Chain A
Amino acid sequence: MEVKIMRNVLDKNQDKADENKKILRESNVIMLNLISSPGAGKTTILESLCNNMAARFNIGVIEGDAYTDRDAQRLAKFGFPVVQINTEGGCHLDSFSINKALGELPLEQLDIVVVENVGNLICPTSFDLGESYRVAILSTTEGDDKPAKYPMVLRDADIVVLNKTDLLEHTNFNLDNFKSDLRKLNPLIPLFEVSAIQGHGMEMLETWVSSIILGTK
């Protein structure tokens, strides 16, 4: 006997993501989903954003890590609410864990929630969390071939941040090749070139974040 099913395995994740979107919309809160390889600088970029935007906006943070709460501890010093999700080895966050974390955040007091996904360029791409914007973060020390190797993360992202530009001269990263590969893949995507540690280019990124927050008010 043959039974027709025709169901996407991620349907349940998508339904929960849609529910998260609704919760965020009702609370007038924007959510960013930061996706990168391990070590590209997600936490450092987030530290810099928290530090420089604290005076104007209330930020909530959801930290996804396979193990430990080290990143959450780094971010707790800014006084914003931080929820840690440990996936126990799992390679991505899903909309169910985000739904739970959103429940623990004081959404009515927040302007923006930033989700730091588990460091990985493939798995998190398939899982919608209900975010308003998806941010792909790459870094010069990873090499300029990431667009060619991981097309989907850049195809599905809303903006790309290239971090560690201060190290550019010490690497064989070719910025022109990187940009041309990125443009082929996603011709209209905004690219922010930053050094989160030195602060270069961060004000442009902060302006973008401010503008999307103010756009919802």
Chain B
Amino acid sequence: MLGVRGSLICFMGSSSPEYAKLNIMHELRIMHDMFKIIEEAAKENNLKKVTAVSFMLGEACHIVPEFFNTAFDIVKENTIASDSKLTIEVIPIKMLCKICNFEFAIKEEEYACPKCRSLYLVLISGKELVIKNIEGE
């Protein structure tokens, strides 16, 4: 989980909800778009209430899952999902080597193929900000 440690320190230093809101501005913005999708899906499927949301969070998005949960709890109030629980699955940064087809997770921020040392890599996971499913009744 490189790249997110700095933010975690801010989070630990803040106790008031207002301060927390300022710190998670970015997450709140993403959450706003997420709730639009949740509300659309609930409407399409005639759900009166959403009880659970399952989410895939890519490590490359530099979002701390705890922040994301806080943002979710702030935004869910007075929505169809006000009593729901968010489950976050963190997806590691994985690359595919275009030369030898080896798939590997990034360690210590070194972007070279561990097998053949090639630099021609494509990202295959780690940028997810994906709503997997919702549960409701």
A: which residues have CB within 8 A of B?
1-10, 12-13, 89-92, 122-123, 125-126, 147-152, 155, 181, 184-188
Contact = CB atoms under 8 A, between A and B. Distances in A.
B26 A186 contact: no
Given A12-B33, A90-B25, A150-B3, A7 B109 contact: no
Label chain A's interface by main secondary structure. mixed
B128 interface: yes
Contacts of B136: 1, 3
Given A91-B26, A151-B2, A187-B119, A9 B112 contact: no
Contact of B111 (A3, A150, A187): A187
Contact of B62 (A1, A8, A152, A184): A152
A7 B131 contact: yes
A3 B133 contact: yes
A138 to B, nearest CB: 15
A148 B109 contact: yes
A81 B135 CA distance: 49
Given A1-B135, A3-B134, A126-B61, A9 B111 contact: no
B133 A9 contact: no
A4 B44 CA distance: 12
Contacts of A188: 119
A152 B129 CA distance: 15
A155 B111 CA distance: 9
B43 to A, nearest CB: 11
A91 B137 contact: no
Interface string B104-137: 0000011110000001000000011111111111
The 7 nearest A-B residue pairs measured at CB:
A123-B26, A9-B129, A187-B119, A5-B131, A9-B34, A184-B110, A122-B62
Nearest to B133: A4
Nearest to A4: B133
B37 interface: yes
Contacts of A149: 3, 6
A7 B128 CA distance: 9
A91 B37 contact: no
B60 interface: yes
A148 B5 CA distance: 12
Contacts of B2: 148, 151
A91 B59 CA distance: 19
Among the interface residues A2, A5, A13, A126, which one has the most CB atoms of the partner chain B within 10 A? A5
Contacts of B8: none
B29 A10 contact: no
B47 interface: yes
B45 A3 contact: yes
Given A8-B128, A8-B130, A186 B62 contact: no
Nearest to B127: A126
A187 B118 CA distance: 10
B137 A7 contact: no
Interface string B34-75: 100100011001010000000000001110000000000000
